[in-house]
Chains A and B, each alone.
Chain A
Amino acid sequence: MSLRRWTVTLLAALVALFTIAPLLWMLSVSFMARGEAAQFPPPLLPGDPTLDNYRALFGSFGIGHFLINSLLVSTLATLLALFFTIPAGYAFAKLRFRGRDATFRLLVAALVVPGQIGMLPLFLELKAMGLVNSYAGALVPWLAGIFGIFLVRQYCLTIPDEMLEAARIDGASEAQILRRIVLPLLSPIIVTLALFVFLGSWNDFMWPLIILADQDLYTLPVALAAMSREHVQDNELMMAGAVVTTLPVLVLFLALQRFYLSGLTTGSVKG
Chain B
Amino acid sequence: MTGVGRPGEARAGWAMSAPALAAILAFFVVPAIGSLFLSFTDFDIYALADLDNLRFVGFQNYERLVANPLFWKAMTNSLLFVAIGTPFIVALSLFAALLINSRWLKWRPVWRVALFAPYVTTLVATAVVWRYLLHTRYGLVNYLLSLVGIAPVDWLGSPTASLPAILIFVGWKTFGYSMIIFLAALQTVPRELDEAARIDGAGWFTRLRHVTLPAIAPTVLLVSVLTVAAMFQLFAEPYVMTQGGPAQSTVTILYFMYEEGFKWWNLGSGAAVAFLLFLCILAVTLVQLRLARRSGAI
Contacts and interface: CB of A to CB of B under 8 A. Distances in A.
Contact of B38 (A101, A120, A144, A178): A120
B140 A25 contact: yes
Contact of A37 (B5, B32, B132): B132
B103 to A, nearest CB: 9
Contacts of B21: 88, 103
A195 to B, nearest CB: 9
Contacts of A199: 120
B10 A97 contact: yes
A264 B115 CA distance: 15
Contacts of A239: 128-129, 132
B9 A97 contact: yes
A166 interface: no
Main secondary structure of the interface of A (DSSP, over half): helix
A245 interface: yes
Interface in B254-288: 254, 257-258, 261-262, 267, 270-271, 274-275, 277-278, 281-282, 285
A92 B17 contact: yes
Given A84-B23, A100-B13, A264-B177, A118 B34 contact: yes
B16 A246 contact: no
B156 to A, nearest CB: 11
Interface in B150-182: 172, 176-177, 180-181
A242 B261 CA distance: 28
B139 interface: yes
A110 interface: yes
Nearest to B268: A120
A206 interface: yes
Interface of B: 1-5, 8-14, 16-17, 19-21, 23-24, 26-35, 37-38, 43, 48, 96, 99-100, 102, 104-107, 110-118, 120-126, 128-133, 137-140, 143, 172, 176-177, 180-181, 184-185, 218-219, 222, 226, 229, 232-233, 235-236, 239-240, 243, 254, 257-258, 261-262, 267, 270-271, 274-275, 277-278, 281-282, 285
Interface of A: 4-5, 7-9, 11-13, 15-16, 18-23, 25-26, 29, 37-42, 83-85, 87-88, 90-92, 95-98, 100-101, 103, 107, 110, 112-125, 127, 140-141, 143-146, 149, 173-175, 178, 199, 202-203, 205-206, 210, 220-222, 224-225, 228-229, 235, 238-239, 241-243, 245-246, 249-250, 253-254, 257, 260-261, 264-265, 268-270
10 contacts: A26-B126, A96-B13, A97-B2, A98-B4, A117-B31, A125-B30, A173-B12, A174-B12, A249-B121, A268-B226
Given A144-B27, A250-B117, 4 more contacts: A11-B99, A116-B235, A121-B34, A144-B20
